[in-house]
Chains A and B, each alone.
Chain A
Amino acid sequence: MLLTIEGLTKRYPTGDLALDKVDLQVPAGQVMALIGPSGAGKSTLIRCVNRLVEPSAGRVMLDGVALTTLGSGALRRARRRMGMIFQEYALVERLTVMENVLSGRLGYVGFWASWFRRFPRRDIEEAFRLLDRVGLAHMADKRADALSGGQRQRVGIVRALMQDPKLLLVDEPTASLDPKTSRQIMRLIVELCAERGLAAIINIHDVALAQQFARRIVGLRAGRIVFDGPAEDLRAEGLTAIYGEEDWSQTIRRAEEEEEAATESAA
Chain B
Amino acid sequence: MSATGLPAATGGAFDPAAAARGWRPPPLIATPWLRYAVYLGALAYALLAFSSIEVNWTRAAEGVERAGRFLGGFFPPDFITKGDDILAGLLESLTMTVVSTGIGIILSIPVALGASRNLAPLPVYLACRGLIAISRTFQEIIIAIVFVAMVGFGPLAGTLTLAFATIGFMAKLIAEDIEDIQASQAEAVRATGASWFQLLAWGVLPQVRPRLIGLSAYRLDINFRESAVLGLVGAGGIGDTLNTSFDRYEFDTAAAVLIVIIVIVLACEYASGFIRRKVQ
Contact = CB atoms under 8 A, between A and B. Distances in A.
B202 A79 contact: no
A104 interface: yes
A181 interface: no
B185 A90 contact: yes
A108 B190 CA distance: 13
Contacts of B192: 79-80, 84, 103-107, 159, 163
Nearest to B206: A94
Nearest to B192: A106
Contacts of A169: 191
Contacts of A115: 201
Q: Report which residue of A88, A92, A104, A169 has the largest number of chain B beta carbons within 10 angstroms of its beta carbon.
A: A92
Contacts of B182: 90, 93
Nearest to A163: B192
B194 A106 contact: yes
Contacts of A88: 184
Interface in B164-219: 182, 184-185, 187-195, 197-198, 201-203, 206-207, 209-210
B202 A95 contact: yes
Contacts of A87: 184
Contacts of A90: 182, 184-185, 187-188
Nearest to B197: A111
B202 A91 contact: no
Contacts of B190: 52, 79
B197 A107 contact: no
Contact of A84 (B188, B203, B207, B209): B188
Contacts of B187: 52, 86, 90
Interface residues of B, number: 21
A267 B184 CA distance: 41
Contacts of A105: 192
A183 interface: no
A50 interface: yes
Given A79-B193, A103-B194, A107-B193, A86 B207 contact: no
B195 A111 contact: yes
A123 to B, nearest CB: 13
A114 interface: yes
Q: Report which residue of A80, A106, A107 has the largest number of chain B beta carbons within 10 angstroms of its beta carbon.
A: A106
A92 B188 contact: yes
Given A77-B193, A163-B193, A114 B202 contact: yes
A91 B188 contact: yes
A224 interface: no
Contacts of B195: 76, 106, 111
A115 B194 CA distance: 12
Contacts of B189: 92, 103, 106
A94 B260 CA distance: 40
A173 B135 CA distance: 46
A90 B192 CA distance: 12
Q: Report which residue of A82, A103, A105, A108 has the largest number of chain B beta carbons within 10 angstroms of its beta carbon.
A: A103
A116 to B, nearest CB: 10
B185 A93 contact: yes
A213 B279 CA distance: 43
Given A79-B193, A92-B185, A163-B192, 20 more contacts: A52-B190, A79-B190, A79-B191, A82-B191, A84-B188, A84-B192, A86-B188, A88-B184, A90-B182, A90-B188, A91-B188, A93-B207, A94-B207, A104-B192, A106-B192, A106-B195, A111-B198, A111-B201, A114-B194, A159-B192
For the complex of A and B, 5 pairs with smallest distance between CB atoms:
A107-B193, A90-B188, A79-B193, A106-B194, A84-B191
Interface of B: 182, 184-185, 187-195, 197-198, 201-203, 206-207, 209-210
20 contacts: A76-B194, A79-B192, A84-B188, A88-B184, A90-B188, A91-B188, A92-B207, A103-B189, A103-B194, A103-B202, A105-B192, A106-B193, A107-B192, A111-B195, A111-B201, A114-B198, A114-B202, A159-B192, A163-B192, A169-B191
